[in-house]
Amino acid sequence: MDKIGLQLRKLAIEYRLRPIRVMVVKDYGRITIDGAEYTLNKGAEIEVPRWLADILEEMGVANPVERGLDIEDITRVHFSTLNARTPAELEPLPRDFYMEALRYIERLSVRIKREFNASLLEEQQKAVRYLLEIIDRRLTLILQSIRSPASIAEISSKLSPEELVLLNSLKESLEIWQKFLSPRLVSP
Amino acid sequence: METLRLDVEEVVDVRERFYEFIRSFRDRNGNYKYRERLRQMITMGQRSLLVDYNDLYLFDTKLARLLVEKPYEVLRQASEALKDVVESESPEYVEGKRFYVRIRALPKITPLRRLRGEHIGKLVMLEGILVRTTPVKEKIVKAMYMHCSREQGCHEFIWPPEGEVVGDILEKPPVCPICGSSSGAFRLLPEKSELIDWQKIVLQERPEEVPPGQLPRSIEVVLHDDLVDVARPGDRVTIVGIVRVQPDSLSKRKAVYDMFVDAIHIEVSQKILEEVVITREDEERIKALARDPWVRKKIIASIAPAIYGLWDIKEAIALALFGGVPKITPDGVRIRGDIHVLIVGDPGTAKSQLLQYAARIAPRGIYTTGKGATAAGLTAAVIRDKTTGEYYLEAGALVLADGGVAAIDEIDKMRDEDRVAIHEAMEQQTVSIAKAGIIAKLNARTTVIAAGNPRFGRYLTNRTLADNINLPVTILSRFDLIFILKDEPRPEEDRRLAQHVLEVHRESEKIKPEIEPELLKKYISYARRYIRPRLTPEAARLIEDFYVEMRRMSTESSEGAITITARQLEALIRLAEAHAKMALKNEVTIEDAEAAIRLMKTFLESAGLDIESGRIDIDVIMTGKPRSKQEKLTRIMEIIESLEDESPEGCARLKEILKRAAAEGIESRIVEEALRGFRRDGLVYEKSVGCYAVVR
C-alpha cells in the first residue's frame, strides 16, 4: 500500500481503537480481551474500544451511550460547507466526521436490507449525496489553497486528519516537483 | 402562479413545493410531521407553522437555499401554500386570517459582530440577550381609506391591493382604485384598517462573546403578530430573521443606513448555560477529570493560582461557581441553589483579583464595581430612546447574568439606594420594576460574589462584623458565606507569600493552573447543566445533627446566643450539593456534608463571632448586634424607664444611668453608645441637658 493509503488506514484503526462509553443491557459476566478485563453487569456504564462496542451491540449486550452521527449532522455540515466560497470561510468538521458518516451510511445499508423501508433508502441516498458534495467542495478549497503558504496556514487548522494527510502529501509532491523544475544556477 | 428563478436552468415553484412539503414530509419514524403540526395549529387556534430548516433542507435542498437567499419572496409564497393546506383541512378556519411559516434552527449561527452588508435581505440566525423591549404597538398591514371627491362622493377601499401589505412607511394611494381619480381627499380610517401587533426589541451580544476591551454590539429586531412578548429583557434568545436596513436616524446623511432584523421566529433558550459549547472531546476530558480523586483540590488550586494561599476563600468561590441545586416546591415556591459569598478584607489582600478570576471562569460571569454600578444598572431600567421617544425596558447586570455569576467589587462603596436594589435579586432571584408605566418582573437567578473593604480602613478585631463593614445587615444576612481577610504580619507566612509573589514575577510561566481556565469553565458549565446531586440519608443526618447540636449550644450558653438559623441550614445543604457537583457526583455523601460543615464553621468562627463573649452568635450577621449586646441594650432601656418613673423631673440623669448600669456590669462605653443609638433611632430623647426620657 502507498504512503497515503497507509496513513488513512492508520487513522481508521485509531478510530476503531478509540474508547467509547456503552451501557450494558444484559448480564454477561467478565471478559478479558488483549489483557484488559471488562465486567459486563446490566446497568453499568463502561468504556470499551469502538470495535468492541460494535460487537457487544451486535450481540445485544451493550448499547453506545452517545448518539452517533446522523443525517441531521451531515445536513448541517453540508449547509456550512457549501456556503464556504474561500478557504477562509471553511469551517472545521466535527470530530471523526468522515469515519462516522461512512459508518452511519453502512449501518443504514444493513437496515435497508433487513427491513426494506423506502424512507430509509431515501435517507441513505441523501446522506451519500451530501457526503460526496461535502468531499468535493472541501477538496476544491484544499486545492485552491495549496498554491500559497498563507492559505495553507489558514486552512490546515480547519481540516480533518484525513484531509491533512492529503494536504501534506500534495505539499510534499509539489515541493519535489517545483524543486525539480527550478533552474539550478551555478555560482560564479 | 408566481415562480422564482433560482438559476438559469432550474425554476422552482415555491408555493407548490411548500404545499408538497407540508403535506408529504415524513420524519425518520415515517410520521407526517407537518400535517400533524398543522392539525395541532388549527386545534390550538394558532396561525403559525413552525418549520425546522433541516427538514426543508432534506426535502428540497435548493428550496431551502433559496429561502436563505430570498427569504421575503419564499416566505410570502410559503404562507400562501400554508393557507392552501389549511383551507383543504379546515376551510372555515381560514376566513380572514393571516398565516405564517416560521423557520427555526438554521444550521449556522451568524455572530452579531459579523453582520455585514452581505447579509442584507438574507435569512440569518442570531443569538444574544434581549436587553430592551418596547410596549406592544399596532401596525397597519391593510389600510382602509375613504376617498371623497365632488364628482363621485365618498367611498371606502382597502390599500394596498390584494397580495401586498403595507411596508414600513404608509404611503397614500396615488389614485383611488374605485373611481380612478387622484383628486379629492384620501382619509385613513385606522380603526377599520387591518392591524397586527408590533414590537421592537434590542438584541445584544452575550457578555462572554464580547472581545476584551470592546463594547457589546446590539441590533434592533422587529417582532410581528404572535412573536410579540414571547421573550422579556434578560432572556437569552435565538432569532431567525431577515436582515434589513433603515435610515440612520441620528445623522441626517440619507446615504447612511442602520441594519435591523425583521424576525421570523424567536426562541427563548430553555436551558441556562447552553451557550458554553461542550464538544464530545470536551465531555471526554471533563469525565476523565472527574474520575481523578483529587479533582476538587485541583479545581480549587486552579482558581487564581497567582494568588498565594486563601484556600478557604478559593474553596468558597469554587463552590459558588458550581452552586447548589435549585428546587421548586409543588406549591410553586422556588428555593435558590445559588451560593452568595462576601469577602471583607484589608486593602491589598487580592480580593479584586479573586473576583475577576471568578467572573472570568464562570459560564455567565459579569464583573462590576460598587462605584461603577447604580441600582438601575444592576437590576433594570426604563429608558427613553432619544430619537423615537419610545420607552424601553433595559435589563441590568444581575438580569444579564441570570444563571451565572455577578462579581461585585467594592460593594461597601455603593450608595445605599443603589445597594438595596440587590436585596430582591439575592433572595427572591427576581428583579421587579414599576417605572414609567412599565411593570415587569425579570429573572435574576444569579450568584453574587462580592468584596468590600472594612469601614475603618483596616478590620478591627475588637468590633463586630456589622461595625466593621459599611453594609446593612439586610444584605449581610443574605450571604451564605462571609470571609474576613486580615492583613496581619506573620513572619513565616509572609516569607512564603513573598517567595510566591517573587516567583510569579520571575517565572510567570511556572504559575500554571492545574486545570486550564477554558476547560474549567466548560467543567463548571457541564456540572451546572447536567449534575443534580441528591442528599443521601447519611449526609442529611450529619447536617441535621450539626444543626441540632449548634442550636443546643445556644440554649446552654448563658447569653442564649443563637449560633445558627434555618438560613444557614439551607446554606449548608447548598454547599454540600455544590461540593458533590464539583466531582460530578449525583449523590451528596457524608464527605460532601463534612466539607460543607467545615466551611460553615470557618465562616461562623470568623464572621459570626461575638467579640465580647467569644462565642459564635449568628445575630452578629443577622441583626448586626450579638445577643449579649442586645440584652445589655434592653437592660439599659429598662434602667432609663425605671429612673424616669422614680425621678420628679420625669427623665433619667446620665450619671444615674451610668451608676446603675455599672452595678449590673455594663461598661460606661456601652451605655453612651446605646444612648447615641437610642436617640438616633428615635427611642429616647434628651428632655433637658444630661437627662433622658423614653419616647412614648
Q: What is the pLDDT of residues B461-503, one digit of tens each?
A: 666 666 677 777 777 777 888 887 777 777 777 777 777 777 7
Could you tell me if B425 and B381 are in contact, meaning their C-beta atoms sit under 8 angstroms apart? no
Which residues pair with residue B303 across a beta bridge? none
> Amino acid identity of A177?
W
Cβ pair B57:A71 closer than 8 A: no
Q: CA A53: distance to chain centroid?
A: 18
Alpha carbons B440 and B448: distance in angstroms, whole number: 22
Residue B626 has pLDDT above 50, yes or no: yes
What pLDDT is stored for residue B81 in this prediction? 92
Total residue length of chain A:
188
Alpha carbons B405 and B357: distance in angstroms, whole number: 11
Long-range contacts of B590-595 (CB under 8 A, 24+ apart): B590/B536, B590/B538, B590/B539, B590/B542, B592/B533, B592/B539, B593/B538, B593/B539, B593/B540, B593/B542, B593/B543, B594/B542
Alpha carbons B427 and A66: distance in angstroms, whole number: 38
Q: Closest CB to B54: pick one of A75, A82, A117.
A: A75
CA-based nearest residue in chain A for residue B105:
A76
What pLDDT is stored for residue A148 in this prediction? 82
> Alpha-carbon Rg of chain B, whole angstroms?
33
Q: Closest CB to A80: pick one of B108, B280, B281.
A: B108
The answer to whether B57 faces chain A, any CB pair under 8 Å, is: yes
For residue A38, report the phi and psi dihedrals to the nearest 5 degrees.
-125, 135
Higher pLDDT: B609 or B119? It is B119
Cis peptide before B160 (omega within 30 of 0): yes
DSSP string, B166-233: --SS-PPPSS-TTT----SEEEE-GGGSEEEEEEEEEEE--GGGSPTTSPPPEEEEEEEGGGTTSS-T
Which residues pair with residue B534 across a beta bridge? B587
Instruction: State if pTM tops 0.80.
Output: no
Residue that has been written with the C-alpha cell 494536504 in this structure: A167
Alpha carbons A139 and A162: distance in angstroms, whole number: 11
Query: What does the buried/exposed string (b/e) look like for A136-147 if buried means 16 or more CB atoms within 10 Å of the residue's CB?
Result: ebbeebbeebbe
Task: Kindly report, residue by residue over B121-144, the tens digit of the pLDDT.
Answer: 999 999 988 888 888 888 888 888
Which residues pair with residue B263 across a beta bridge? B241
Could you tell me if A77 and A134 are in contact, meaning their C-beta atoms sit under 8 angstroms apart? yes
Task: Kindly report, residue by residue over B372-383, the tens digit of the pLDDT.
Answer: 667 777 777 777
Q: Closest CB to A119: pick one of B30, B108, B281.
A: B30
Q: CA B612: distance to chain centroid?
A: 41
Query: What does the buried/exposed string (b/e) look like for B594-628 if buried means 16 or more CB atoms within 10 Å of the residue's CB?
Result: bbbbebbebbbebbbbbbbbebbbbbbbbbbbbbb
For residue B215, report the phi and psi dihedrals to the nearest 5 degrees.
-85, 145
What pLDDT is stored for residue B6 in this prediction? 46
Could you tell me if B572 and B547 are in contact, meaning their C-beta atoms sit under 8 angstroms apart? yes
Minimal CA separation from A51 to chain B, in Å: 18
Mean model confidence pLDDT for chain B: 79
Helix (H, G, I), strand (E, B) or coil at B330: coil
Alpha carbons B358 and B339: distance in angstroms, whole number: 13
Share of chain B above pLDDT 90, in %: 10
The answer to whether B586 faces chain A, any CB pair under 8 Å, is: no
The answer to whether B280 faces chain A, any CB pair under 8 Å, is: yes
Window from B64-78, B357-371, B421-435, B522-536 with minimum mean pLDDT = B421-435
Could you tell me if B449 and B405 are in contact, meaning their C-beta atoms sit under 8 angstroms apart? yes
Residue that has been written with the C-alpha cell 424576525 in this structure: B263
Neighbours of B368 (CB within 10 A): 21
**Beta strand segments in B248-312, E:** 257-268
Regions of chain A with pLDDT less than 50: none
Residue B25 has pLDDT above 80, yes or no: yes
Residues near B587 by beta carbon (within 8 Å), at least 6 away in sequence:
B533, B534, B535, B536, B580
Q: CA B465: distance to chain centroid?
A: 29
**Beta strand segments in A5-158, E:** 19-24, 29-33, 36-40, 45-49, 62-64
Which residues does chain A have within 8 Å of residue B30's beta carbon, measured at their own beta carbons?
A: 117, 119
Neighbours of B287 (CB within 10 A): 14
Which residues does chain A have within 8 Å of residue B55's beta carbon, measured at their own beta carbons?
A: none
A78 half-sphere exposure, CB direction, 13 A CA radius: 23
Which residues does chain A have within 8 Å of residue B66's beta carbon, measured at their own beta carbons?
A: none
Could you tell me if B208 and B95 are in contact, meaning their C-beta atoms sit under 8 angstroms apart? no
Assembly ipTM: 0.74
Alpha carbons B539 and A143: distance in angstroms, whole number: 62
Residue B624 has pLDDT above 80, yes or no: no
Higher pLDDT: B50 or B381? It is B50
Helix (H, G, I), strand (E, B) or coil at B478: coil
What pLDDT is stored for residue B173 in this prediction? 82
Share of chain B above pLDDT 70, in %: 85
Q: DSSP character for B547?
A: H
Minimal CA separation from A4 to chain B, in Å: 26
Alpha carbons B147 and B188: distance in angstroms, whole number: 9
Alpha carbons B518 and B279: distance in angstroms, whole number: 13
Minimal CA separation from B107 to chain A, in Å: 5
Cβ pair B58:A75 closer than 8 A: yes
Helix (H, G, I), strand (E, B) or coil at B615: coil
Minimal CA separation from B123 to chain A, in Å: 13
Mean model confidence pLDDT for chain A: 88
Residue B1 has pLDDT above 50, yes or no: no
What pLDDT is stored for residue B2 in this prediction? 45
Cβ pair B26:A126 closer than 8 A: no
Give the model's confidence band at B9: pLDDT under 50 very low, under 70 low, under 90 confident, else very high.
very low
Residue B28 has pLDDT above 90, yes or no: no
**Residue B626 has which C-alpha cell?**
450579638
What pLDDT is stored for residue B119 in this prediction? 92
Which residues does chain A have within 8 Å of residue B281's beta carbon, measured at their own beta carbons?
A: 95
Which residues does chain A have within 8 Å of residue B28's beta carbon, measured at their own beta carbons?
A: 71, 119, 123
What pLDDT is stored for residue B11 in this prediction? 46
> Alpha-carbon Rg of chain A, whole angstroms?
22
Alpha carbons B270 and B492: distance in angstroms, whole number: 52
Alpha carbons B500 and B510: distance in angstroms, whole number: 11
CA-based nearest residue in chain B for residue A20:
B284
What pLDDT is stored for residue B5 in this prediction? 46
Alpha carbons B10 and B684: distance in angstroms, whole number: 92
CA-based nearest residue in chain A for residue B283:
A66
What pLDDT is stored for residue B241 in this prediction? 95
What pLDDT is stored for residue A92 in this prediction? 92
Which residues does chain A have within 8 Å of residue B58's beta carbon, measured at their own beta carbons?
A: 71, 75, 126
Tell me which H or E stretch contains B438: strand B438-443
Alpha carbons B334 and B207: distance in angstroms, whole number: 26
Residue that has been written with the C-alpha cell 441550614 in this structure: B569
Helix (H, G, I), strand (E, B) or coil at B350: coil
Long-range contacts of B497-500 (CB under 8 A, 24+ apart): B497/B308, B497/B309, B500/B308
| Helix spans in B583-618 (H) | 590-607
Residue B103 has pLDDT above 90, yes or no: yes
Q: DSSP character for B117?
A: G
What pLDDT is stored for residue B509 in this prediction? 67
Could you tell me if A45 and B76 are in contact, meaning their C-beta atoms sit under 8 angstroms apart? no
For residue B68, report the phi and psi dihedrals to the nearest 5 degrees.
-70, -40
Residue that has been written with the C-alpha cell 460532601 in this structure: B592
Q: Closest CB to B281: pick one of A72, A75, A95.
A: A95
User: Is the C-alpha dihedral spanning B587, B592, B594, B597 positive or negative?
Assistant: negative
Long-range contacts of B304-309 (CB under 8 A, 24+ apart): B304/B350, B304/B353, B304/B354, B304/B357, B305/B511, B305/B512, B305/B513, B305/B514, B306/B353, B306/B504, B306/B508, B306/B511, B307/B350, B307/B353, B307/B354, B308/B496, B308/B497, B308/B500, B308/B501, B309/B493, B309/B496, B309/B497
What pLDDT is stored for residue B7 in this prediction? 47
Q: Closest CB to B280: pick one of A66, A75, A80.
A: A66
> Amino acid identity of B625?
K
Residues near B577 by beta carbon (within 8 Å), at least 6 away in sequence:
B323, B324, B325, B337, B533, B535, B588, B592
Report the pLDDT averaged over residues B270-287.
69
Minimal CA separation from A157 to chain B, in Å: 16
Residue B252 has pLDDT above 70, yes or no: no
Residue in A1, A9, A7 with CA at minimum distance from that of residue A166: A7
